Chains A and B, each alone.
Chain A
């Protein structure tokens, strides 16, 4: 009987110690929880480049929760994160409209790419994205090609839907056709599936280059030029009126990402491994108005605010020392 009591006390002791230690660590470390997309996370940019540099500079630990754009927004709405880093403008706007997000800053860009089997049955190589999709739909309907979609509400999927719309198709309708496959999952698994069935799909460059380099897929980048393929990443801070989060810390992060130091780290990432950067720093493009990218950013990355185009509309700015890029609409 006594042995049992001792055992119980020991167990309770162990559990309490674990809890206490955790609370202690929580109180000691300043943490920012950032919900983000899998495409940003899986390249390693966040964990390997941004987090260590930021921690060294400010002593703040960055906890990235990669979930996909839709889920990241959910996290923020549940009060689980201090800021989100995503790449789907329409959803970002809605996020701010609903009152959850403030102080949007864009910090990087790259391009999506339409990949497909080397044989290219739909003959889309070198075409513009919209033309390519039209041909794929045509080839698909005559049984010669397959399209693979993530259909998961991610940033990539959001771009895909926008492209289909530009090509004149209703995503909700065509996704039911039998040449249109949906994986409902992440970029890696979707690329694997497309590789296996010899289908076409839209991918972010980071994941595609990695999988291609590791020899996991033999899909080729068939359409990689065109303003519609631009992919712009933004950080949006959670509205302090909604949740008591580390607003100041998040502001620091947004500032640092768009600072010379942060931008440099972003631009250098992946060059050694893949011979080209996976992400492009955005600030210098805005400052120097480098065409044609500058134009594309204006069109796909900025938001309308009255007669201006801006990173973050006035009404979604919250008192801070951040400055926001804006330009008059022409």
Chain B
């Protein structure tokens, strides 16, 4: 493959983005929606869990911490396979009808990124915990108020956890493919095609320029989200 070819692909990509291809917009928005919901679900479950883990001192705590840390590197294709087997109509959760649906992908991605949220949150809390908690107590806070202060102090780290989780979700392929199925029907309301699955499909078909365009959009989304979060973090800190 010569450089000209790659450049031609990138050129085609810009054209596609500039012309606001409806199909491309649909896929991009779906990626954000699906992974966004997955992130929200992971946040609701993971942040309290991470906080509890970061604060606690019970005996099995380190084992639990190691468990979540270990889950950080789960290969998405393995998770995708396991989820497929669980969510298929013949499987234990088949009656939920989540296979080949957006919520199914969200659910699967949520499981994937939960360890990220829990681990990062617990780490931020741990690095903040003891002295801040005691400081709050000695300034007259009740136990609950002190815990809240600890969480507030760690909030920059928690935000980072959530952003990292979203980026991992939107960029993964294994789960979106196996659980989602890359379905696309023009004008349909049950489509499951997202950026990663369509990139994979176009590459397999040899439509490299479309694949590059989609890849650039994906990178663009990740970049924008990360930049916005950095900005928010710095605003936070100065306050």
Q: Is A61 engaged at the interface, CB distance under 8 Å to the other chain?
A: yes
Encode contact with A along B63-97: 1 for CB under 8 Å, 0 otherwise. 00000000000000000000011001111001001
Q: Is A77 engaged at the interface, CB distance under 8 Å to the other chain?
A: yes
A29 touching B100, Cβ below 8 Å: no
Residues of B within 8 A of A52 (CB): 186
How distant is the Cα of A1 from the Cα of B148 in the complex, in angstroms? 8
Q: Is B225 engaged at the interface, CB distance under 8 Å to the other chain?
A: no
Within 8 A of A (CB), among B72-128: 84-85, 88-91, 94, 97, 99-103, 106
Residues of B within 8 A of A11 (CB): 40, 43-44
Q: Is A12 engaged at the interface, CB distance under 8 Å to the other chain?
A: yes
Task: Indicate the size class of the contact surface on chain B.
Answer: 35 or more
Task: Indicate the size class of the contact surface on chain A.
Answer: 35 or more
Q: Is B181 engaged at the interface, CB distance under 8 Å to the other chain?
A: yes
Encode contact with B along A38-68: 1 for CB under 8 Å, 0 otherwise. 1000100001000110010000011111100
Residues of B within 8 A of A189 (CB): 204
Within 8 A of B (CB), among A1-41: 1, 8, 11-12, 14-15, 18-19, 22, 25-26, 28-29, 31, 33, 38
Which of A8, A19, A78, A79 is close to B103, meaning CB atoms less than 8 Å apart? A19
A38 touching B103, Cβ below 8 Å: no
Q: Is B14 engaged at the interface, CB distance under 8 Å to the other chain?
A: no
B89 touching A79, Cβ below 8 Å: yes
How distant is the Cα of A214 from the Cα of B99 in the complex, in angstroms? 35
Q: Is A318 engaged at the interface, CB distance under 8 Å to the other chain?
A: no
A78 touching B205, Cβ below 8 Å: no
Residues of B within 8 A of A1 (CB): 148
B41 touching A63, Cβ below 8 Å: no
B90 touching A26, Cβ below 8 Å: no
Residues of B within 8 A of A (CB): 33, 37, 40-41, 43-44, 84-85, 88-91, 94, 97, 99-103, 106, 148, 181-186, 188-190, 201, 203-208
Between-chain CB contacts (< 8 Å), 10 pairs: A15-B37, A15-B41, A25-B190, A26-B97, A29-B188, A47-B184, A63-B100, A192-B206, A211-B206, A214-B206
Closest 9 CB pairs of A and B: A79-B89, A78-B88, A79-B90, A25-B189, A65-B181, A78-B90, A188-B204, A63-B183, A216-B206
